[in-house]
Structure 1
């Protein structure tokens, strides 16, 4: 075989090489260094040491020896290879023969495979044709199935589109919108290859906008019904009806609370607590119903809009639109011109009702929806509205001086505040406005009553008041503590003359009216009730002191004694009524304040009464002085008078008239003081006439005539029946008795007798009188009896015995002169 020959030649060549190496290797000389290198080459694992060995050979200059050793090694290895080949030659040849046989078998096998492949190709062609036919059939079947599925999905789309129209016809906008969203999100996306689907897809946004516009329009119509606009005229519809009902229920609630606290003794101390206070809510827990239970509002349009816009993914757009619409509606309601000065509060009351209804609806929307209206938005709208309401009230009441109008506005605002306070709206700015109104109201009320009371006091005639019948008497008793004796009324009947003038009951009535009108406005101000109590106390004090007392004090300048006396009586009644005013203030003030209220007017009236009494004393004494100026005693008279002097009789007549007329209604204590002062003044004045140093002479007859006058006055004093007045002329009586009646005037020099009988006398006065008697010359041809001589001698002894007093007196007179 050709292959066998070729392989044998190759094997022969290798054997020859092995022989060459073996022969040459046997002839190679070895040295020490060469053996080292040879050993290194023999060990294949130490091949990394070859580098250092070669480097060493080069450095030592043994390159030639190395190459020789290397050749010897090669020859040695060739010899080894040849020897090994010779040993395994037969096995190698046998292996080559087997390989050649395998090659022959593979050629035959390839031929058989070619035959089988040809047979398979023939059969496969037939099966490929059948497969192609089957594939085409399956494509047709799939197309049919796809067509059926497309028709079914198209029918679903068309049915959904038809349902949208049906839902719109039934105004079920949210359901229609959900169907549109399903079409847009799911089904239309799967059928975009169809023309009708593309048309439907283009129509979905249009339908969504149509639904949005429709629900928005319906919402605006609903809002208009809630608030009000039609042809620019406010119409009382849902919002106003709600506000009217809410304020009406609040008024009823206030009335019930006021009635319960006033009629129930256990709750009487709670009557100063206001509606909506914690106390009121606890007491009435379970008894009061909410206005929301009576209000039935259809929020369907609003809920539709919320659902529609939320479904469209535009909730913020709707929130902004709704907020803008509500603000516009609030501004529109507040734009109505309001004039409060004309006294017609219908428009203002309607405005407050609209606002109450408006914010009750806002409260319901806020609590019945989720994430639609925020508390901040509602609070902002509320602040805007309350700010404009405050502005309307402030501007409308500029320059207004009618306290009644302030009171009516206060009642409306208070009802408005308490109604919306129950829905958790902040009412502090409104309460501050009420406080401002109260300050102006109190000023107007004080000014009004100041003018009224000033006019009453000024125009009072200072004459006792007369009541014509029992009704008039009851009216007086209603406002004063005056309670006449029933027996007296029964005996004398009507008309009845009262001790005080008309100014007293009229001012008491006005003070009572003032207090109640003051607290009519103060009702509802529990937070500042204490301040109002202080304001009212000062105001009542001001009215009583600045208007009543001050004018009465000016009237004291009058010279009409009857008027002055009547003023004293009036002031005394005012003074005694001040505790009633204090009690009235304590009963009407805030419950949480305790302690007694003390009016300064009490002490002021007391001081004025003292001044009035002093003024009466001055007038009476002045009148007495006028009479005394007319007295002309002839101190050298020798003619005995049996009757008192006419001027003194006139004086006593004056005092009698004063007693029976002008001083008749004065209290006994005041009359007693007045008589005492007047009689004391008269006594001192008459003593002054008697001891007048300008008159150096006095006859005993003139002294007896003077004694007659004194006795006449003493009889008048005794007729008054007042024991406190009996001693007013005692000093003068002791002086006259010593000079006229005493048989022994020298007894005055005896201390025991002087202290017992003449304890009121001043030695100086005795000396002056006795000197006048001694200084008077005796009549010509007159002869004194023994008794008269002894008496005259006694007068001289008394005068000398008290000379030091006389000297002192004359020196004082000289200094004054």
Structure 2
């Protein structure tokens, strides 16, 4: 150890002695130049990335061997310096090693002491460690217990809500159960999946949604089925309420003039009659009549107040929570559409009674009243578009049903009842916001059908009156009968009320009968249009239009009636008179319609056509002409002229006397005809008689005519001329009627007086004496005279000049012809 210390000291000294040398600057190699010195400096100081550049520069100078020797010299120099430094610090290293050895000994002693102390502590701390271990165990148990309590506390709401969920499901409170289920899933969802028992609860909750969904659908179906059972009662209540509110009311007793009394009629006090009107229902409790009716307002309850719509609301809420609102709406609408098809399907015995129709429509009203209520309470479930879709389906079926069952109805009273039923149905549906334009179109069709049936009935009555009338003027014997006729037909004639009894009306019983039929028909037309929401002008014009159609059909019936050849002249004359008064009755009917419709006087779009009988009247007038001509022909057939009569009898022929008597009687009856018609018929008859006598005289069947028969014929014509001069038909100008026989008179005078010179001389002049005689007719008659004289050959043998004269005149007449 001493030797080591001595060596260390020597080394230290040596190192210390040469420390100055190591710290001195490096002495350059004798052969080393500045450039090599620079390269060595660059290698020592530069980074490794630039070494390549330095080496490149060394190789570029070409002094590589010199630089290598310089580098070796520099390395040797650095090795020498390192050795000096190591030698300098070696003694300190030796001292340190000695100190460590001393420290090792002390540490071994300390370790022994520490082990003894440790053994002593270990022995003494065993009980303490045992107690500490127990403390740790108990603290762990306590911590676990607290954790368990905390977790169980967190699970208690789950168990409580699950129990509540089970109770709600048993009570069928599905919406509340669904809300509890939603709370379990969303609020406690994170805790449910931690434990096995909660996981089993979660599995048991999974089918609850399906059960709620299934039970909700079932509840909806049950509700719809239950409501379907009372559709008719709902419809009845709604219809009754509408009838009271709109005044569509008819009491079985005398109506109370005080309209406020209707406000106290409750739905229990009214019922719907078979004809669709509202009747008061007799109270079963006599004491009830004494109660104050002020406690029962008219609109105290609606038709749906007694219906519990809670199932609908619950289902809407449940399916909203389930997130299946659209599916529920589609299901509901599908079920309601099925029910729509069911309720609008008419019963098979609908046409047998009006009651079945009322029940059918009441069920439809009940269905749509319920639908309207659901739409108002659940707007998302039932929309206006969907409600209108169902109503359109119903309207199509109702229209088709009504047309099918009542389109061919021929009973007027049944049509009135159906009109009331359909109208009340339409008003009820309108009060709930449903469109009823097609129902008004249906009523319009029924109105046309009703009026067609009514018109057919009155046409039949008109034809019956035509057949049963006696066609004689009405004769009244006292004041009561006189007023009775005036009450039936407003006839006015100046001074008629001053005449003595019996008095005569110009028309027959047919006129007042038909006039009252027309008024009854107008009342029937108006009866159907009551409460049809038509303006007074529409009602007035419609009644007038139907009245015109009725008059036109009556005119057709008249034409058909008079076309029968068996009608007598008296009947035709009286029919013409009656038709004149029927035309006048149009003015009275105009005023009557105005009174019925309360429109008042003024302009009307439709007026009664009094000229509707014009064609029938013209036909009757023509038939009167024909009948008179037939009578004239009948009398003329009685004429038995001896055309070779040597001398006239001095008096008119019997047939002429009878004919004149008949014409006097007939034309006297014409005083009640219109003066123009009477004059026309008289003129045409006289012309016809004159023409027929003229044709008789010039007939080809008559070969020869004597002067005696001409004189007799002249006497007959004279009787006709006297008749025309004293004709009972007033209004003719002087000699106007007598001019009808002028051509016959001039022909007779020309031939009988042989005034041929004057005829030929004045031929073609306006003031000619024989201006109405045709040369051809004169020639024919002259030939007949010549023919008779030829038979009497002695006449021409004694008077040859006369024969030449006749031949000359005849040639001149033929020349003129």
Relative to the length of structure 1, the TM-score reads 0.67
CA distance in 1, matches of 2:638, 2:318: 112
Q: Is the partner of 2:652 in helix, strand or coil?
A: coil
Partner of 2:746: 735
The alpha-carbon deviation at position 357 of structure 1 amounts to 1.9
Structure 1 equivalent of residue 32 of structure 2: 30
Alignment deviations for residues 511-566 of structure 1 (CA, whole Å, 9 cap, x no partner): 96278449827974879x89989995895476345x425414523x4463223323
Q: Paired residue for 1:313? A: 322
Give 1:50 shift.
3.6
1:245 equivalent in alignment to 2:229: no
2:569 pairs with 1:561: yes
For residue 718 of structure 2, the aligned residue among 699, 711, 728 is 711
Give the Å deviation of 1:41. 3.4
Q: Note the alpha carbon deviations across 1:785-813, whole angstroms, 9 max, x for none.
A: xxxxxxxx9x99xx99xx99x75642476
**Relative to 1, partners in 2 of residues 1:409 and 1:157: Cα closer, same or farther, differing over 3 Å?**
same
1:607 partnered with 2:615: yes
Name the structure 1 match of 2:366. 357
| Separation (CA, whole Å) in 1 of partners of 2:482 and 2:672 | 19
Q: Is the 8 A contact 1:410 1:434 kept in 2?
A: yes
TM normalised by structure 2 equals 0.67
CA distance, structure 2, for counterparts of residue 500 and residue 15 of structure 1: 184
- Residue 667 of structure 2 is aligned to residue 656 of structure 1: no
Equivalent in the alignment of 1:71: 72
Greater Cα offset, 722-731 or 647-656: 722-731
Match of 1:41 in 2: 43
Relative to structure 1, the CA distance from residue 30 to residue 580 in structure 2 (aligned partners, 3 Å threshold; closer, same or farther) is farther
Structure 1's 432 and 590: CA in aligned 2 closer, same or farther, altered over 3 A?
A: farther
Q: 1:655–1:60: structure 2 CA closer, same or farther, 3 Å change rule?
A: same
Q: Is residue 549–residue 608 contact of structure 1 (8 Å, CA) maintained in 2?
A: yes
**Aligned-partner Cα distance in 1 for 2:711–2:418:** 83
1:759-810 deviation digits (Å, cap 9, x = unpaired) = 864474997699699979899999xxxxxxxxxx9x99xx99xx99x75642
Q: Tell me, yes or no, if structure 1 residue 483 matches structure 2 residue 475.
A: no
Q: Secondary structure at the match of 2:351?
A: coil
Cα pair 1:222 1:301 within 8 Å, conserved: no
Tell me which residue corresponds to 1:810: 814
Partner-residue secondary structure (3-state), 1:499: coil
Aligned match for 2:686, one of 679, 688, 707: 679
Identify if the C-alpha distance between structure 1 residues 42 and 465 changes in structure 2 by more than 3 Å, giving closer, same or farther.
farther
Does structure 2 conserve the Cα–Cα contact (< 8 Å) formed by 1:250 and 1:419? yes
How much does 1:306 deviate? 3.3
Greater CA deviation, 30-39 or 560-569? 30-39
**Superposed CA offset, 1:205-257 (max 9, x none):** 899999889988877776555332xxxxxxxx5x4333112222333455469
1:227-626 pair list within 5 angstroms: 227-228=228-229, 237=230, 239-255=231-247, 293=302, 295-299=304-308, 301-302=310-311, 305-306=314-315, 309-310=318-319, 313=322, 316=325, 337-342=347-352, 344-369=353-378, 371-375=380-384, 378-379=387-388, 381-383=390-392, 385-386=394-395, 388-390=397-399, 392-393=401-402, 396-397=405-406, 401-402=410-411, 404-427=413-436, 452=460, 455-456=463-464, 459=467, 463-464=471-472, 483-485=491-493, 488=496, 499-500=507-508, 502=510, 505-506=513-514, 509=517, 513=521, 516-517=524-525, 520=528, 524=532, 540=550, 543-544=553-554, 547-552=556-561, 554-555=563-564, 557-558=565-566, 560-576=568-584, 596-597=605-606, 605-626=613-634
Tell me by how many angstroms 1:375 deviates: 4.5
Is the 1:25–1:72 Cα contact (8 Å) retained in structure 2? no
Q: Which segment is superposed worse, 349-358 or 726-735? A: 726-735
Tell me if structure 2 keeps the 8 A contact 1:561–1:619. yes
What is the Cα deviation at residue 504 of structure 1?
A: 8.2
Alpha-carbon contact 2:346-2:401 (below 8 Å) kept: no
Q: Report how many residues are paired.
A: 745
Closer, same or farther: CA 745–375 of 1 in aligned 2, 3 Å = closer
Judge conservation of contact 1:501–1:570 (CA < 8 Å) in 2. no
Matched residues in 2 for 1:304 and 1:427: separation? 30
- Tell me: CA distance 1:667–1:390, structure 2 relative to 1, closer, same or farther (3 Å): closer
1:649 shift after superposition? 0.6
Gaps (5+ residues) in structure 2? Answer: 251-256, 258-296, 796-800
The 3-state SS of whatever aligns with 1:366 is: helix
Report the CA distance shift for 1:249/1:308 in structure 2 as closer, same or farther (over 3 A).
closer
**C-alpha distance in 2, partners of 1:564/1:739?**
40
CA contact (8 A) 1:19 1:82 kept: no
Report the Cα distance in structure 2 between the residues aligned to 1:402 and 1:327, rounded to whole angstroms.
35
Compared with structure 1, are the counterparts of its residues 135 and 380 closer, same or farther at alpha carbon in structure 2 (3 Å cutoff)? Answer: farther
**Distance verdict in 2 for CA 1:159–1:565, change over 3 Å:** same
Are the counterparts in 1 of residues 649 and 712 from structure 2 also a CA contact under 8 Å?
A: yes
Contact 1:739–1:770, Cα closer than 8 Å, also in 2? no
Aligned residue in 1 for 2:272 = none
Alpha-carbon distance between aligned partners in 2 of 1:102 and 1:496, rounded to the nearest angstrom = 178
Contact 1:244 1:353 in 2 (8 A): yes
**Aligned twin of 2:291:** none
CA contact (8 A) 1:457 1:551 kept: no
1:19–1:79: 8 Å Cα contact kept in structure 2? no
Is the CA contact (8 Å cut-off) linking 1:522 and 1:532 kept in structure 2?
A: no
Asked if 1 retains the 8 angstrom alpha-carbon contact of 2:544 and 2:593, the reply is no
SS at match of 1:341: helix
Report the CA distance between 1:369 and its aligned residue: 2.9
State the distance in 2 between where 1:249 and 1:97 align.
129
Compute the displacement of 1:168 (Å): 9.1
1:37 Cα offset (Å): 3.3
Alpha carbons of structure 1 residues 408 and 697: separation in structure 2 relative to 1, 3 Å? closer
- Residues 169 and 6 of structure 1, relative CA distance in 2, 3 Å threshold: same
Q: Alpha-carbon deviations, 1:359-378, whole Å to 9, x = none?
A: 21221122113644445554
